[in-house]
Amino acid sequence: MNILKDAGLDIDVFDDSQNLITKDELSKRVADKDFLITPLSTKVDSDVIDAAPNLKLIANYGAGFNNIDTEYAKSKGIPVTNTPKVSTTSTAEVTCALMISLAHRVVEGDQLMRTKGFTGWAPLFFLGHELAGKTLGIIGMGQIGQAVAKRMHAFDMKILYNQRHQLDSATEEKLGAKFASVDDIVKNADVITLHAPATPETHHLIGAEQFKEMKDSAMLINAARGPLIDEAALLDALKNHEIAGAGLDVYEAEPKVDDGFKSLKNVILTPHIGNATVEARDAMAEIVAKNTVAMDKGNKPDYIINGVEL
């Protein structure tokens, strides 16, 4: 906020901490604005863009941008920016936390101790699984995927990965990672974690067909985008023991979560906290503020994602 104030910009802030801004209110409040800073939870569609004839920039507070009609903004000559890179460490750490917690049944154990407790140590009581020696499949090997690989390679996991372009051999060697098809990952991985963007091509990337191919001991982690998984199929797979567990930080109909997941002990549900650290959020805020000031001064902002030439 100080960056914007120091630049002499007038700021209109939606500060209701209990509710999201409605489309109608957003359209009214943006009508006379030059710049829009918006979080991932706010939809900025063609109607909202049309309601703001003076709009010069949409600065998304997040690495993703599927909440914005980027092509329509481009047709209006409005650049859309995001905040990549700065949430990499936090999201990778949350991904690894979900993975470790599932394997060692940490959340289950916490719930047990808060309720009926236990009678004492026993050789076969509350067994989980070690991750060392297991195969981790990473779908989407960008910055976050590589950060996860780096951390879990240190746990002595074998790494299979898939993305559009294969990494160079030096990076693969450093991460202990081997390029594989999605099908091979689905069939061979003990843990699968998703780090792909939400696009028409990745919608329901993991669904009923994939769950039938996965090991019945496999675990699925999603701290990327909810629509990558067919959640109805996931729920069926968990109930039918086609896979062993899931850790979800994002949801297909976010913020709604299917009640069916809430009753399952082998599922960890977190409220989209992938980049919810002071460090990441401060860095994200700095990016959107500096991009706004840059546009106000006639300079090009960083991280334009919809191809608008300035």
129 is catalytic: no
254 is catalytic: yes
Q: In angstroms, rounded to a whole number, what is the distance separating the alpha carbons of residues 64 and 68?
A: 9
Q: In angstroms, rounded to a whole number, what is the distance separating the alpha carbons of residues 18 and 3?
A: 26
User: Which residue among the candidates 105, 225, 231, 242 is catalytic per the annotation?
Assistant: 225
Q: Give the other-Cβ count within 10 Å of 147's Cβ.
A: 20
Per-position DSSP letters for 159-209, written without gaps between them: EEEE-SSPPPHHHHHHHTEEE--HHHHHHH-SEEEE-----TTTTTSB-HH
3-state helix, strand, coil in the chain (%, to 5): 35, 15, 50
Peptide bond into 84 cis (omega under 30): no
User: Which residue among the candidates 129, 203, 272, 281 is catalytic per the annotation?
Assistant: 272
- In the numeric block, the tokens 């943006």 are attached to 30
201 is catalytic: no
User: Which residue among the candidates 108, 172, 213, 254 is catalytic per the annotation?
Assistant: 254
- For the annotated catalytic residues, the residue numbers are 225, 254, 272
